[in-house]
Amino acid sequence: MIREYTAVIEKHGGWFAAYVEELPGVNTQGRTLKEVRENLKEAITLIIEANKELSAGHIT
């Protein structure tokens, strides 16, 4: 399954800061655009996995 998210990337000085609107907690930074995009992919994966684990614990 392919999912699409809206990433907001802003440049602040020598760094890029980024977050994903649809997934609270997904935010990161990087020195280059490539680095911040890679970091976003990793952060998305981690948050989705954590959310799956949390929701599995609450299903009765």
The residue ranges of every structural domain in the chain are 7-58
Q: DSSP state, 55?
A: H
What does pTM read for this prediction? 0.81
Check: CB of residue 31 under 8 Å from CB of residue 16.
Answer: yes
What's the pLDDT at 9? Answer: 97
CB-side exposure of 36: number of CA atoms within 13 Å?
A: 20
Q: How confident is the model over 2-57, as pLDDT tens digits?
A: 889 999 999 999 999 999 999 999 999 999 999 999 999 999 999 999 989 888 87
